[in-house]
A and B are shown apart, each in its own frame.
Chain A
Amino acid sequence: MQKETEPESSTTVKREVATAARRERRGASQWAVAWRRFKRNKAGLAGLFIVLFFLFIALTSPWLAPYPPRSFQALYEGEAGQPPSWKHPFGTSRAGLDIYSEVLHGTRGDLYVGVGATVVAVIIGMVIGAVAGYSRGAGGDVLLMLSQVFYTIPLLPLILLFARVFSILVAQGFGLTLILLLLGVFGWSSVSFIVRGEILRVRELDFVQASRSIGASRHRVIFRHIVPNILTPIIITATLFIAGNILTEVVISFLGFGDVNTSTWGITIQEGITYMRTEWWTPVFPGLATLMAVLGFNLVGDGLSDALNPRLRD
């Protein structure tokens, strides 16, 4: 049998190379590797910057904005319908809204809906997808069918219908949370497909079998070995979901089904679109904000999916 004996010089060279390689890579978890690759992706970094910027605004908007949400103060100051100026950087609407303040407050509203609806959808989708993937039998089939039904339902008309019905039946002020819940409750199906598929894939991998073969309990196999290994596609999907949900919220508000008592980009666009010809600033600034936020989350999602893709090893 050949032992690992080589000429002295070659061994030394090898050891040096190995040491250098180790310095570079030692103890790099998958997350560390992913972050290193994400950092090299300029578009992804730009997206991350945009997302962090909007998150900062969402958290601080009550202090940043010169006017409170839905305040028509400018009307009383005789400054309604004015183009951008030093006092009103994004102008004022015909009704007297300070657009700059509305965009800042809208950031908070839209991220609330976008992130919140995603959390709801991911939770529902994970539970249903996990059960569908783990139980082989009628139960799993029924859940798969349920996901398919939800996948085929045209989301927007349904949400519009529910939003209108609820806003008539239920008290006002529930508006944004209602939209958040509707988006989540009807939007989980693609998450459940991903989770189901991933569980079917991961559960067949040798390390799952191996950990059972050395006496790991079912609970440990699921929560220590299966769940962490299906997280990456869920994270990627969730990021893209946030972008989609923000956009849908804007569409819902634009179509007049939103909550007029809360500042969102969609509401401001909707209120300004009629006078677009003369007062372009009212819809354009919230529109730009929407564009930037959706772009940011999409860039982060794409960057993550590249960074976390095991097939794109460096």
Chain B
Amino acid sequence: MEDLLDIQGLKTYFFTEAGVVKAVDGIDFHVGKDEAVGLVGESGSGKTVTGLSVLRIVPRPGRILAGTIRYEGEDLLSKSEEEMRKIRGSKIAMTFQDPTTSLDPLYTIENQLVEVIREHQKGLSKEEASEGAMKLLEMVGIPEPELRIKAYPHELSGGMKQRIAISRALASRPLLLFADEPTTNLDVTVQAQVLELLEDLREKLKMSLVMITHDMGIIAETTQRVQVLYAGMVAEVAETHSLFVKPMHPYTEALLQAVPRIDQRRELKVIPGNIPNLINPPPGCRFHPRCPYAKELCWQKVPILEAMDDGHMAACHFWRELSLTGV
């Protein structure tokens, strides 16, 4: 089956005054039709920048340097800005982390939804578009949509804003949605509702979903396949189940250990240190300064992403020797 999205060797760097930040440094990533893929990693691992790169809306001073991004076989990086504009929203869409800032505070919900609807369906009258806006609100389960539609963002709760942000991203029925930390700023109960909504919509609209998150719990709940990023590079790729049961990369193990469990009495393990400075990343394997299993080879040589029989891939020199703990 051909992939909906296929990224090869993507490099997106930020040319800041302090130096070149290698936010995404050679990432391969693909998403199949109807698939839900997780993109996991700490802040600064390159998850969001990957999404922004696909839409080609990387803010300056960031720039895509190398790689190919194919959507339905078409190379997105060779498209003109005008062509990209037609793809954004209608074919590929993205929702953003913070629902309190992802809606413009100056316009009503109706206004903002109508704007998107008419962007991609030029002939539509205002009335038809606001009818469409109403349908969108119903689709994402906003209670009393006829009242909410006239509201301004500050009059709504965080969960509602996130639902509306999702409905806006889906206004033109894209086939691929990047959901960037859709639940990070929400209450736990609302988180579950938003995840369920995304799952529902994915099935109903037959779209693919890329779930960008650092929360392994969300990954377990919503995805079929996971890609773990560390410091702008791919650490591990696997079926979600396989990744949880049998992690192959020490970083994945550390991420799994950092998830609180109510069924086990154990101390929560934190990953020592911070994500490395991406201007001067550590040599060799970028994870080696924080890795409990690191040996000399780890800072001498960059590990390549190796595939096992079942398609499970890991970028670690010692994946054969280590027996890592899953959950």
Contacts and interface: CB of A to CB of B under 8 A. Distances in A.
Contacts of B102: 206-207, 209-210
A22 B148 CA distance: 10
A36 interface: no
Contacts of A1: 192-193, 196
B103 A207 contact: yes
Interface size range of chain B in the complex: 35 or more
B100 to A, nearest CB: 8
Given A27-B108, A27-B150, A210 B96 contact: yes
A216 interface: yes
B105 A229 contact: yes
B104 A225 contact: yes
Given A29-B106, A213-B55, A207 B101 contact: yes
Interface stretch (B57-65, B233-241, B284-292, B310-318): B57-65
Nearest to B48: A209
B138 interface: no
Nearest to A213: B94
Interface stretch (B21-29, B164-172, B254-262, B294-302): B164-172
A165 interface: no
Contact of B168 (A25, A210, A225): A210
Interface in B59-106: 59-61, 85-90, 93-98, 101-106
A301 B132 CA distance: 41
A42 interface: no
Contacts of B116: 214-215
B155 to A, nearest CB: 6
A240 B225 CA distance: 58
Interface string A139-162: 000000000000000000000000
Interface string A1-38: 11000000000000000000010011111100100000
Given A213-B57, A213-B94, A214-B88, A228 B106 contact: yes
B87 to A, nearest CB: 8
B155 A25 contact: yes
A85 interface: no
A224 B88 CA distance: 18
A137 B236 CA distance: 38
A214 B155 contact: no
B47 to A, nearest CB: 15
Nearest to A229: B106
Interface in A171-226: 203-207, 209-217, 224-225
B152 A206 contact: no
Contact of B60 (A28, A136, A214, A228): A136
Contacts of A217: 85
B147 interface: yes
A29 B119 CA distance: 24
Contacts of B220: none
A26 B144 CA distance: 13
A205 B104 CA distance: 9
Nearest to B84: A215
A215 B85 contact: yes
B189 interface: yes
B275 interface: no
A206 B151 contact: no
Contacts of B95: 210
A206 B182 CA distance: 13
B120 to A, nearest CB: 6
B115 interface: yes
B104 A215 contact: no
15 contacts: A1-B196, A2-B189, A26-B147, A30-B105, A30-B106, A136-B60, A207-B103, A211-B115, A212-B57, A213-B55, A213-B169, A214-B88, A214-B93, A215-B120, A228-B106
Given A206-B102, A211-B104, 4 more contacts: A33-B154, A210-B169, A215-B85, A229-B105
The 8 A-B residue pairs with the shortest CB-CB distance in the complex, in nearest-first order: A214-B89, A206-B102, A215-B88, A215-B89, A206-B96, A206-B101, A207-B104, A213-B94
